[in-house]
Every structure is written in C-alpha cells, then in structure tokens.
Chains A and B, each alone.
With several copies, the nearest count.
Chain A
Amino acid sequence: MSERTLSVDLGRGLRLRTPVLVASGTFAYGFDAPLIDRARLGAIVTKGTTLRARDGNPPTRIAETPSGMLNAIGLQNPGVAVVRREYAPRWAQWDLPVIVNVAGDRVDDYVEVARRLDGVPGVAGLELNISCPNVAAGLQFGLDARLAAEVTGAVRRATALHLMVKLTPNVTNLAAIASAIADAGADSLSAVNTFVGMAIDVRRRRPVLANVTGGLSGPAIRPLALRAVWEVAATVRIPVIGIGGIASASDALEFLLAGAAAVQLGTVNYVNPRAVAEVVEGIEQYAADHGFADLSAFPLRPSVVPSHA
C-alpha cells in the first residue's frame, strides 16, 4: 500500500499524510519528545495556548489511576505572542502541519488568539479547546450548545484557518452540542477531551491534585471516548477526529471504524514513543488485509461525511 492511501483531507486546506495526530498537551509545542517518529505523523496539535502567558496550576498536577491518569496542568503556556514570534517560524520549516490548540476565558480571548494566528506561516489550523476541565473558565463553552456555537461562530469570523473544535464528553447530550458547533462553521470536530475526575490521598487526607479535580485520560476512557465518537460521527457532516485512550493500532482502528476521519494520540506518547509508528503501520496493514483503497472504506456505517480525499 502506498502512503497516499492513508492521507486525509480535513477540509479548508488541512491535508494530512496520515490520520494519526498527537493530541494537545502531550507533545508541548513539538520541540521535545525526540523519540517519536515524525515521518509517520499526520499533524501535531500544540499545548493549549492563551492570549497571555499562564503559569498553570500549583503541583501536584498529575496522578495515576487504573489504566489512566488525572491531570490538572491548568494551561501553563507562554501565550500567543511567543507562539507566533518564536515557534511558528520554526514550524514553517517543517514538513508537518502544526495545529494550535486555543483556549480562553471569554469569547473575546478565543477570537483574539485566533486573529493573531491567522495567516501566520507555520500555523496549519486551530483546535478550539472549549473543553479544558482544569481552569476556572473555558469549559463552560463546551457544556452548552448555544455557548459552543457562539464561540465557534466568533472564531470562524476571525480566521481563514482550518477550525477544529474539541468537544468535552462531560455532557448529557453530546450530539446536540456537536451539531450546533458544526452549524456554527467548524471545519472538523475532535472528540474527546478528558473526563472530570478526582483522586484522594487517604493517608494525607486531602485531594491528590492541588486543583482538587482533574481530567482523566488514557486507556481507561477509551470505551467512553469511542462511544462519543460513534455518536458524533453519526450526527454531523464534518470530519470527526477521535481521541481518548488510544494505545495501539487496534484501538485506533476502533475509532476509524466508529466513523472517525483521523485520530489523536495523547497519553500513550508519554509511555510508548513507538506508538505513533505502530498505529500508522497497523492502519496500513488493516487496509491491506481488507483490500481498502483509502480511509473512506473503514467506517462500519456509511459515512455521512462527504469524502475530501
């Protein structure tokens, strides 16, 4: 099978050579993690980036749970100015699209970050993080269809870049929110961000995380994320990027079969730097075994997404 077969066009000019991305917050700004094979990567999604630099939450910020981890980093990042001035020019040299994950407290924050990144060489798209459970504000946009549509629409008007919107699973009716975001002009949806969880240190009698609650990621959430993608992919007509607990080729295939156009690998990158390569190879092998010409043949249900490829 040629590599072309694994390419995916997410729309508005965002073409990926493979359907495997690294998820926000698990690859920083793409300059670290030298052990990961970039040649097989479809794109990098950066750490959540805000208008002004943020220190993030005090420690303890992470805790391991069964087959999962909680994090409450709190969007530690250098702010959009540094990203634009120092990082983007380096990305522009790369043969690999970089999508900037954008976070904020108010609609205006998102719009301003988007505006500053619009047309900047090296920035291939935006992923709107309206789903971070670890900061005082920001998550509320992902919890409500009207607010989600509002921030999506406002950012849409501020940028010509590919606009991916990242869903939070911590809701009653994900499909309704996904529809509202699609209608408001998103080019794609990524699903899902972390699930709000908590751990208590019984010996010290206090929550483990300084932030009390944190977001659960890793294999533990895979079945929940998969069902979210299955539901969203059946609802919207834009590409859905599956995220949540993917650790192997077989896991990634579950998401592609559920209707995802591509996948993001997060926590697994901390544990197994070979994961990206293994997943891409496994997808290639699956296509070969099944005689599939391209990714459009993967989903179990006829996709409602118009083929971009």
Chain B
Amino acid sequence: MSTAVLAQATVLAHTRPMEGGEELVLAHPEGARRARPGQFFQIGVDAKGTLLRRPYSIAAIDPGRGRLSFLFSVVGQGSAWLSGLSNGQAVDLIGPLGNGFVIDGGTSPVCVAGGLGVAVFPPLVDALVRAGRPPIVLQGARTGSRLLPDDRFAGASVQVATDDGSRGWRGSVVSLLRTVAAPSQEWFVCGPTPMLRAVIRLAGSVGVSLDRIQVALETPMGCGMGTCLGCVVPAAAGGYLLTCQEGPCLRADQVAWDRITDAFHE
C-alpha cells in the first residue's frame, strides 16, 4: 500500500480482446515500475451519480515501456464510463494497492481463472515464467469467444474449459482442475465466489492443503487503502481481513470459507 501513487495516466489503447471483455492500456511509468502481480488500482470514474473509485486488477505490467493495462466488462455506470474512454484521454489512478501474489513458494504452479477473474493472471504467469516455474493455466468461461486469448500466457501450458464445450473441456474450470490436480501443486485462483468455494472443496478431496492455495478476492471497496474498513472478508482466525490491504491475494487458509458471503456472485 505504501507504494501507491496518485497519477493521471493517458489511454494508449482501448481494445476488446474477447467477447464481454475490454482492455485499457495506459501510460503510467511509475505505476508499471511499482506494480506486482495480483495488486490492483483504484480508478477514478467521472460517471453521473457515482461517488467512489472502482478497483481493477492489473492485467498487464510492462515496466520497460511504462505501461499498465486493465481488463474489464461493463456491469454498471463506472465500467460504462471506462468503456467510453478513447486514446489520449486521462484517467485518474491510485495504486498499486494491496498485496499481490507471493511467488517464491513451492513448485508446480497452477493458475485457475473463472470469467473476468482471468484479469489477474497475465502478470502472474509472466513472473512465474521468468522465475523458471512456468505454470499450468486453466481458464474457464461460458463460451469460447469469452476466453482471453492463450497468447497472453506465453511460456505457460494453457488449457481452457467452456460451459458450452465450444472450446476445450466442456464444463467448469473446476472440473478441468480436477483432471490435473495433484497434491504437490500450488494453486493461484481468481473468479466468482461459487467457483472459489468449489476449488476449496476440491482441494480437500485431492489433498492440496489450503496454505498452498492463493486466492485473489473481490469485495465492494470504499477506499482501497485500509481506512474505511468496508472491504472485509471473514478470517479463519476470527474477525475479519481487509481485502484491500491484507488482500486482495490471500492464502486460502486465512479465510473463513464457511462465513464468506457472496457480495457479488450467486
């Protein structure tokens, strides 16, 4: 958190890498230098009726060219405003914020992405590949056109799952995970809460201990900086953890999965 800066970043590109997903590439040299996989930014949105910033995971980090990117879908007024941005416009950013993934851990990393949760993985995969530990990447979506293209995970072994079987494994990404799961693995997971729950259950049945799973969580956020106490998730140790400060990336054994509420996802 202490590395966060406040900056105006310029839009360099606005693309649509997949159905239901848009990407904004921003010029932000200092942010790109400081950002770590799994961290997020608080983006200022200038949309009618809104008040708070919107948290977005860092979907690409390019310190060499001083660029960051964010991958998003339009779900409300804030994201609709982002969707209206074009090249050259300025965006107000605070970040990088929160704790990213810890990547100095064990061997055999597996990245498990559900839906837009895939946004956190390109920088993580990159870091793992550069650390000499190329991961397996499992990406799930409703249909093939909603998958982030495989080339965003250079160096990794990518497998995909679609609900309609239009690409790769037919079924959920968790059922795909079951086919590759092994106790020696380390899992990195991001996606809707029901998917996270399913991964936790699977971990128990295949013998991956929770302290070898890292999850990137999403909750509503007031500040993103640890001051409002609005973004809590129930902690295994009792009480609550701040998603914005202790998370968004947490070890699965830190979280009280039985008390977690679905703020956003059914």
Binding site for B on A (CB under 8 A): 25-28, 32-35, 47, 55-56, 58-69, 71, 73, 76, 204, 210, 218-220, 267, 269-274
**Chain B residues in 8 Å Cβ range of A273:** 6, 94
The smallest beta-carbon distance between A281 and chain B, in angstroms, is 16
Residue of A with least CB distance to B224: A270
A-B contact pairs, 8 of them (CB 8 A): A32-B226, A34-B4, A35-B6, A59-B233, A64-B50, A67-B49, A220-B51, A269-B227
Contact pick for B223, options A68, A210, A270, CB 8 Å: A270
- Assess the B52–A47 pair: CB atoms within 8 A: no
Residue of B with least CB distance to A66: B49
Contacts A34-B4, A59-B263, A273-B6 given; does A73 touch B229 at CB 8 Å = yes
Q: Is the interface of B mostly helix, strand, loop or mixed?
A: loop
Q: Does B240 contact A (CB under 8 A)?
A: yes
The smallest beta-carbon distance between B223 and chain A, in angstroms, is 4
**Chain B residues in 8 Å Cβ range of A274:** 6
The smallest beta-carbon distance between B48 and chain A, in angstroms, is 8
Instruction: Give the docked Cα–Cα distance between A26 and B226 (Å).
Output: 9
Q: Does B266 contact A (CB under 8 A)?
A: yes
- Assess the A73–B230 pair: CB atoms within 8 A: yes
- Assess the A76–B261 pair: CB atoms within 8 A: no
B216-265 with Cβ < 8 A to chain A: 219-234, 238-240, 245, 259, 261, 263
The smallest beta-carbon distance between A300 and chain B, in angstroms, is 17
- Assess the A64–B6 pair: CB atoms within 8 A: no
Instruction: Give the docked Cα–Cα distance between A219 and B49 (Å).
Output: 8
- Assess the B229–A76 pair: CB atoms within 8 A: yes
- Assess the A61–B229 pair: CB atoms within 8 A: yes
Task: Please give me the 3 A-B residue pairs with the lowest Cβ-Cβ distance, nearest first.
Answer: A62-B230, A270-B223, A32-B226
Interface residues on B, range: 35 or more
Task: Output the residue of B44, B219, B222 with the most chain A CB within 10 A.
Answer: B222
- Assess the B49–A210 pair: CB atoms within 8 A: no
Instruction: Give the docked Cα–Cα distance between A63 and B50 (Å).
Output: 11
Contact pick for A69, options B6, B52, B219, CB 8 Å: B52
**Chain B residues in 8 Å Cβ range of A76:** 229, 232, 239-240
**Chain A residues in 8 Å Cβ range of B44:** 271-272
B96-154 with Cβ < 8 A to chain A: none
Residue of A with least CB distance to B261: A59
Residue of B with least CB distance to A77: B229
Instruction: Give the docked Cα–Cα distance between A58 and B230 (Å).
Output: 10
The smallest beta-carbon distance between B69 and chain A, in angstroms, is 23
Contact pick for A62, options B4, B222, B240, B261, CB 8 Å: B222
Q: Does B2 contact A (CB under 8 A)?
A: yes
B65-110 with Cβ < 8 A to chain A: 94
**Chain B residues in 8 Å Cβ range of A59:** 219-220, 231-234, 240, 261, 263
- Assess the A60–B229 pair: CB atoms within 8 A: no
- Assess the B51–A218 pair: CB atoms within 8 A: yes
Residue of B with least CB distance to A32: B226
Contacts A25-B228, A26-B223, A35-B225 known; list 7 others, CB within 8 Å. A35-B94, A58-B261, A59-B263, A62-B221, A69-B51, A76-B232, A269-B223
Instruction: Give the docked Cα–Cα distance between A63 and B94 (Å).
Output: 20
Instruction: Give the docked Cα–Cα distance between A72 and B44 (Å).
Output: 23
Residue of B with least CB distance to A54: B239
Q: Does B12 contact A (CB under 8 A)?
A: no
The smallest beta-carbon distance between B263 and chain A, in angstroms, is 5
Instruction: Give the docked Cα–Cα distance between A189 and B52 (Å).
Output: 28
**Chain A residues in 8 Å Cβ range of B219:** 59-60
